[in-house]
Structure formats: structure tokens, C-alpha cells
Amino acid sequence: MSPQDLIRKKRDGKRFTPAEIDAFVQGVCDGTWADYQTSALLMAMFVNGLNLAEQNALTSAMLASGEHFDFSELDAPVADKHSTGGVGDKTSLLIAPMVAACGVYVPMISGRGLGYTGGTLDKLESISGYNVRLSKSEFKKTLKKCGFALAGQTENIVPADKKLYALRDATATVESIPLIVASIMSKKLAEGLDALVLDVKTGSGAFMQSERDVRRLARALVKTGNAFDVKTEAVISDMNQPLGQYVGNALEVFECLKLLRNDAEAQTKPTLDLSIELAARILILCGVADTIESSNLKIQNVLASGEALEKFRQNIELQGGDAKICDDPEVLLDKHLLKIKIKSPASGYISKIDAGEIGRAISAIGGGRVKVEDQIDCAVGYACEKKLGDAVAEHETLGTLFCRSEAQAAKVLAKLQMAYKIGDEKSPKPKLIKEIIK
Amino acid sequence: MSPQDLIRKKRDGKRFTPAEIDAFVQGVCDGTWADYQTSALLMAMFVNGLNLAEQNALTSAMLASGEHFDFSELDAPVADKHSTGGVGDKTSLLIAPMVAACGVYVPMISGRGLGYTGGTLDKLESISGYNVRLSKSEFKKTLKKCGFALAGQTENIVPADKKLYALRDATATVESIPLIVASIMSKKLAEGLDALVLDVKTGSGAFMQSERDVRRLARALVKTGNAFDVKTEAVISDMNQPLGQYVGNALEVFECLKLLRNDAEAQTKPTLDLSIELAARILILCGVADTIESSNLKIQNVLASGEALEKFRQNIELQGGDAKICDDPEVLLDKHLLKIKIKSPASGYISKIDAGEIGRAISAIGGGRVKVEDQIDCAVGYACEKKLGDAVAEHETLGTLFCRSEAQAAKVLAKLQMAYKIGDEKSPKPKLIKEIIK
């Protein structure tokens, strides 16, 4: 079938066979499909949808476009976590060492930040010397030695996704559930996993706003994971405010190290709670724990004993980073930054926080990328002091901006202040874990 | 608004403002929209539709992308006919001289054939020396001198349509009524017309098969024409069999010259009937005749008097062609062609003719183009002998193929024979004029 015939079929709302989807993905990869034909079909898929069989076939065809990892020679289960992205979302840095300390391998292939969401690779690069560009064999060696490895996607993993994602980004066809599922799952399936836990975010800092869509996405991800024999669960978690205390690359690593050193505070506690929930579910899916209680306990133990921190130290050393941050997290902080307090314009209770707006403000002063090619400034960021439901007095501090100059501060101060809504009545704090999708 | 914002809007089924449509068409023309963005929006437009206001805004923006003719200095009305294309559809060659002989200017900008439909320019080029590549001033001079001019589209007329049509063709987004209307009407409006009659074909040789769609297209064309102050009507005409007797470039000019010379026969009569109907409607729209009867009579008179033939002779001379064909149409026919009779496989009545299949067969032996860049052979073609509803005996001739070689004949004979269905019962002949849309 020609590109036109395939486009016509989906344009008219018909269903594709797996062979037709294979032909499309192959045509995209070998260049026989022109970009304008690919984008026309992506739009037809966006508007007319793909059913579960088509979603799985697309995932499979994209997976087949590149190389896969095979960890079958390892003596323990292999698992990963994937998050749909948020503001201050730093759980990977805790989950990988915690899960590894419990005897499960975590081959974590991560991305960079774009727009208002951060990326695990950028966070890791705020550790002096840390190398996220590992070859396939370096990645495998690191994984075997310390139980986890963290690296960027190589050119050879799901090349179809690179082409398709770039076109989707340029043609407003990103927010389609089957296209999102195929993009996420083809990359995760290439990791050769036994189990996968998905952290699907909902709220003002999540890329998908509607709770209904988020639930549909979570269900679709879980269905496709299980269809490929990877034990998959999704946790729908709250992103109506930044997660934990800090937003900004070095600051987020700092928060995680404090937690790994058993130095939790009220502001950083949610980061730990969500990380433990996700890690505990991984252990159950891998058969390493039976109940959520026993799984939680296992993780608390490796935290309390320092085994999780030791895993992180080993990993940093193996990936070329400066491991002394494990003993002294303060090393991560740039002492030359200006610290500007954001004040509450009124007395009352914090009724709304636009987490996306906080993410965009930090991005705008160099903490994230507006365009893919932007360089980032690891040090800048934001510390939350008041969260949803907290009482504040007029002029009390809502949070602190860490920036390079008064000019930077002037650029984003009003935006940060506007990100908060102060109400007269105390509203309940949002539940961090909203739903588990199995 | 960025391309993504505009694409997102139509993707989500929202309506565009005229300014948004202008921005799109301008972006397509100046290259700020990438082809893959344009094709994504075309698909979103195809699936989610454009309302009348958007259809008119798109027509207007496309019209504004190039230059227009202005014939306001002429002392008589200016009108044209446009056909959606068919097999043996040769009415332009009669309508232009007939209408011009009745005192209405016809600045006819035509196209070339593609696929199974013929093109007026190709037909005219079967007249030795005839030049269809006129500059704007040559076109105007010819129009003024003999009342009509026939030429191809220059680069400067609706350049947006060239880009958009090429992308639509490659991305299966051709058959969208608002996109078709904007493509046709922007080009016709560039002719600076007072009146326009559209011949919208329905049946086995028409590009749009469903009668419901054809009626919707005709209504949409008429609405947009009138919205731009061009008096517009559409005639829905039958294309369930080739029009008249001949299919093939030189053969079709031969048929028209015989008709202009008042030499009609049973097989060529429908060509004349449809041409007169369309021409008569043009005269009424231009205020040159009051009723369809008086308008018909006017045209019959310029035919009978030879004035229409004289207009054609003048035009051929002005456009560099050999006008002796007006005295001796046989000059057009190549005497070296093989004439192969297509025989009926059974006795009965002709119940179905696949006009598209006949068009494709003639195209396949060089009479038309499979690809845009193909050269054509003007001489080859087909003569219909039996039409829908006619009785035939087994082995009686259905039609005659005019071709270059036995090999060509072998290639298409079975196809031509298969284009006919012979039934046991006499079915009524189809009505040539199905509906008038005002």
C-alpha cells in the first residue's frame, strides 16, 4: 500500500492491520515516506484514534526500529520507573538506588528537560564529572556493578520515535494517548524489563490537565506494558504543586541526597513518600516483596541502613562523578547565587499553585530549556516554603528564588507571585497518591 | 499565532478567523510553514471541516496569493465555465465560441489532463501550431479581438494552490469539499468574472462518486462564487458514460468542429445539448438573455449562422493554430492509426459503462497522463458506438479503439470490453442534466 492509501484509510476512520503499521514505521525510518506524509498520517491518527491493537502494533513497530537491551543473563529481576514529567519531580534519583539496594536491577534510560519540566539527565549533570553518555557496554557494566545505571537514549534505541516525536512536536500532534503510549512504551520496552511502574502526573504542573485523560493514559500505558509481558502498574500522582521542596537541577539533587542521608523535613517529605510508593510497587511486581507494607519496610530499611546512599555513591563513582556530595550535599550549592524571597500579597490560605508557571519561571532564567538546543544553568532554581492548604500572613515568604542577577529576578518575580492564589478559607491539602492503575 | 497553535485549533474542531486563514496561506507561500506543518493542517481541515465563512476566507487568501485579471475596461460581460472533469468532456471548445458569438467575453484558463480525465489544453494542442502558453497581455489581446482566449495557468495565478494541491495529492487530502471549492474558485475568481457556470459531474467517470457529495460540492461552489459577487450557477450533469462520441484529444476537437459546422449525429448530440445548456445559463447570468428558451435560441442562431464557427476560426488564427481544420475537420485525424473494434460478449442491453475505465485505457496507450510529466499522444482515442440503454447483439461493435499498434490494443482491449455490462432488460437512458443549483 502506498503512503496515500494508508493515510486515506486512517483519514476515513478505518483500522490498521499490524502489517500496515509496520509498513508506515519502516517507511518513516527508511525515508520512503516524506515528512509531510508522515505528519498527515499522525494528524489522522490523532483525530480518528488508534484502538488497543493498533496502539500495541505501533509500539511494537517502533520498538523493532532499533536495538534492545537483553539482561536475561542477570541473576535478578530488571525494572524501571517512568514519569510523565512535572515540576520538582526528582523521584528517579531516589528510586534507582533504593530499588537497586533491594536487589532489583534498574537500567534507567532518561531524557532531558524541555519547557517547564526538568529532566533526570540535566539533574545528574549538576554533579561535577557525572557522565550520562554511556555506550551500551558501559551502561551494562555500570548496571551489573552497582545495580543501576542512568544514561541518555543512544541513536540506536527506537530511532522511529526521534523522527515521529520531532514531527509531532512541530505539528501539534503530541497529546494523543495512543501516540504517547507508543512513544513511551517502545523506549521502555527496549530496556528489556521484567517490571515497570509509571508515575502519571495530574494537575497544574502536568502536561495533561484533565483527570479523565490522565486516567485514560494511565490505563492505556498499563495495558500495553502487560501486552508485551512486562508487569506494569501506574500510579496517578498529584502535580498541583511542585513535588517536595526544590525546583532546579542542583537543588533537586541536593534534596535527594538529604533524603538518602535520612534527613527528611516537612517540605521534602512528599518527595520521599512518592519515591517509596513507586519503589515499593516495583519490588512487588518483581516478586521481591509480597505486600505493600513489607515492600515499604524493605525500602525504609535500606534507607535507614545507608545501603541506598551507598548504591548512589557507587553509581556516581562508576559514572565519573564527584562522590563527595554523598558526604556533604552542600557542595552542590552555588554560594554566589542571589536568594530572593517571594512574599505573599495577602493573608489567608494557599488555595492554588500553578506549578507549570513556577517551572516556566525557572526555565526562563536558565534552569530549563525553552528550545531543545538551549544550554542550562544547573544552579538556579526555587525553594518552596508554603504549599497548598498552608496558612500565610501578608508579606510572609512563599518561596525563595535562587538566581544569578537582579535582572533575572525582575524577569520572573511577578510570575512566581502570580503562581499562588491566596483564599480566605482553608482548603484540604491534595492527596499525593490519587489512584493505582493495575 | 504559531503554526502549531493554528494546527491545534483546527485539530480540536475550532473555527478559524479570516486573519488566521490569511496567516496560514501566507506562511505556505513565504515558506515559514514547513510542508509537514501544512499537510498536518490540511488533514485537520479535511477531517474536521471548514464552514462557509472559513471556505470563503481560504478562497480569498488563496486568490490574494497571486495576480488577478481585471477586465473592467471591456464593454461587455465576462464569464466562464468550469467542469469538475470527466471522460470525453469537451464542452469548453463549444461553449467559448458560442458564448463569445453572443457578445460575452470568455477568458478561459484551463488545465491539462491527469489520470483518466482529459484537459482542454491538451485537446487544443492537437491543433497544429496552437499556442496555449500566452502571456497576460497576449491573453488579453486575444480575448478582446475574438471574444475568448484559452490558455494555461501562469506561475503568478494563485501560487498558493500549486503548493497546497501538490501536498493534498501526496497526502490523500484531495476529496474535501471546502478544499476543492477554495482551489477551484480562487483560480476562477482570478479571471475577473461577472458570471460563472460550473459543470459538476456525477457517475462512473466523475472524480466524486456519491450523488450526495456531488450535490454538496455544487452548492458549496455556488455559495462561494456568489459571496464574491460573481453570479454563479452549477449544473449537475451525468458522467456514467463518456460524453458524446469521442474520447481522445484530436478526436474530441474533431467532434466539436463537426458540431460547430452543424453536423450533429445521434452519438455527438449529448455534447451539443450539454454545451448549449451551460452556455445558455451563462448568457442569462450575464443579462444577455432573459429566459432559458430565448437564451437557447440565441445560441442555436449563432450555430446555424456559422458565427460560432467563425469565432473559433478567429481564435485559432490568433493563437497560432492551423485554422483550415474549421473547413476540413478530417485534417485532425491521423490516417495511420489502427482501428480496432470492441465487440459485445453477449446480446442484451447496455446497463452499465465504467467511463473511468475507458478514460484509463486511453490514458494507458498515451492519450492521457499517468504522471504529471508524461508526454501525450494526441491522436489515439476511442469512439463510442453503443451507449447506456442501447440494445446490442453478441459480437456487435460497442466502440472503436484508435491506437498505434497491436501491442497497444492487446494492453487495453479486455479493459475496454470489461467497462461494459450487458443486461437482459432495457434500462432507461440516464438524464444528461440532473439538477440545476442556483
- Three-class SS state of A101: helix
Owning domain of residue B29: 3-49
Domain identity same for A174 and A246: yes
CATH number assigned to the domain comprising residue B287: 3.40.1030.10
Number of neighbouring beta carbons within 10 Å of residue A397: 14
Domain identity same for A323 and A394: no
In single-letter form, the type of residue at position A403 comes to C
B298-334 pLDDT, tens digit each:
999 999 999 999 999 999 999 999 999 999 999 999 9
Domain identity same for A142 and A241: yes
Contact A375, A229 (CB under 8 A): no
Residue B94, CA distances (Å) to A430, B274, B284, B302, B310 in order: 78, 10, 17, 11, 12
A194-203 pLDDT, tens digit each:
999 999 999 9
Q: Among partner residues B4, B35, B172, which is closest to A7 by beta-carbon distance? A: B172
pLDDT, residue B7, reads: 97
Q: How far is B164 from chain A (nearest CA, A)?
A: 12
Residue B430, CA atoms < 13 Å, CB-side half-sphere: 23
Domain identity same for B346 and B234: no
Q: How far apart are CA B150 and CA B82, in angstroms?
A: 13
CATH number assigned to the domain comprising residue B375: 3.90.1170.30
Please name which of B162, B164, B134, B163 lies closest in space to residue B149, comparing C-alpha atoms.
Answer: B134
Domain identity same for A258 and A176: yes
pLDDT, residue A307, reads: 98
The pTM of this model reads 0.90
- Interface residue A36 vs chain B (CB under 8 A): yes
Contact B208, B246 (CB under 8 A): no
Cell numbers describing residue B62: 488563496
Domain identity same for A11 and A83: no
A167-181 pLDDT, tens digit each:
999 999 999 999 999
Cell numbers describing residue A153: 537514549
In a domain, B219, yes or no: yes
Domain identity same for B233 and B352: no
Residue B115: band (very low, low, confident or very high) from pLDDT cuts 50, 70, 90: confident
Contact B55, B21 (CB under 8 A): no
Q: Among partner residues A4, A170, A171, which is closest to B170 by beta-carbon distance? A: A4
In a domain, B402, yes or no: yes
Strands (E) in B58-145, as ranges, are: 79-83, 106-110
Residue of A nearest to B48 (CA): A47
Rg of chain B in Å (alpha carbons):
22
Q: Among partner residues B5, B39, B172, which is closest to A39 by beta-carbon distance? A: B39
In a domain, A223, yes or no: yes
Q: 42-71 in B: which are within 8 Å (CB) of A?
A: 42-44, 46-48
pLDDT, residue A240, reads: 96
Q: Among partner residues A4, A36, A44, which is closest to B47 by beta-carbon distance? A: A44
In a domain, B372, yes or no: yes
| Mean predicted confidence (pLDDT) in A315-327 | 97
pLDDT, residue A112, reads: 83
Angle between helical axes of B52-63 and B211-227 (0-180°, round to 10): 60
Domain identity same for A184 and A237: yes
User: Best mutation site among A39, A210, A370 for testing chain B: the one with the most B CBs within 10 Å?
Assistant: A39
User: Best mutation site among A8, A36, A370 for testing chain B: the one with the most B CBs within 10 Å?
Assistant: A36
Domain identity same for B215 and B276: yes
In a domain, A60, yes or no: no
Q: How far apart are CA A190 and CA A188, in angstroms?
A: 5
Structural domain ending residue among the three candidates B286, B310, B329: B329
In a domain, A70, yes or no: no
Q: In chain B, which residues have their Cβ closer than 8 Å to the Cβ of A5?
A: 172
Report ipTM for this prediction: 0.88
| Mean predicted confidence (pLDDT) in B56-63 | 98
Domain identity same for B9 and B35: yes
Cell numbers describing residue B436: 440545476
Residue A372: band (very low, low, confident or very high) from pLDDT cuts 50, 70, 90: confident
CATH number assigned to the domain comprising residue A32: 1.20.970.10
In a domain, B192, yes or no: yes
Residue B291, CA atoms < 13 Å, CB-side half-sphere: 3
Domain identity same for A299 and A343: no
Buried/exposed code over B5-25 (b: 16+ C-beta within 10 A; e: otherwise): ebbbbbbeeeebeeebbbbbb
Give the count of domains, chain B.
3
Does residue A371 carry a pLDDT above 90?
A: no
A90-125 pLDDT, tens digit each:
999 999 999 999 999 999 998 887 777 888 999 999
Residue A293: band (very low, low, confident or very high) from pLDDT cuts 50, 70, 90: very high
In a domain, B323, yes or no: yes
Q: In chain A, which residues have their Cβ closer than 8 Å to the Cβ of B5?
A: 172
Query: Looking at A92, A110, A183, A204, which residue is catalytic?
Result: A183
A40-87 pLDDT, tens digit each:
999 999 999 999 999 999 999 999 999 999 999 999 999 999 999 999
B5-48 pLDDT, tens digit each:
999 999 999 999 999 999 999 999 999 999 999 999 999 999 99
Q: How far is B170 from chain A (nearest CA, A)?
A: 6
**What's the burial of A417, exposed, middle or buried (CB within 10 Å: 0-12/13-18/19+)?**
middle
Query: Looking at A187, A258, A313, A369, which residue is catalytic?
Result: A187
B63-77 pLDDT, tens digit each:
999 999 999 999 999
Domain identity same for B37 and B87: no
Q: How far is B221 from chain A (nearest CA, A)?
A: 23
Q: How far is B3 from chain A (nearest CA, A)?
A: 7
Q: What are the two backbone dihedrals, phi and then psi, of residue A173, each rounded to the nearest 5 degrees? A: -125, 30
More confident residue, B373 or A108: A108
Does residue B230 carry a pLDDT above 90?
A: yes
Contacts made by residues A316-319, CB under 8 angstroms, sequence distance 24+: A316/A127, A316/A130, A318/A141, A318/A142, A318/A145, A318/A146, A318/A149, A319/A124, A319/A130, A319/A131, A319/A132, A319/A134, A319/A142, A319/A149, A319/A150
pLDDT, residue A374, reads: 84
User: Best mutation site among B36, B38, B46 for testing chain A: the one with the most A CBs within 10 Å?
Assistant: B36
Please name which of B120, B191, B122, B118 lies closest in space to residue B154, comparing C-alpha atoms.
Answer: B191
Q: How far apart are CA A399 and CA A278, in angstroms?
A: 27
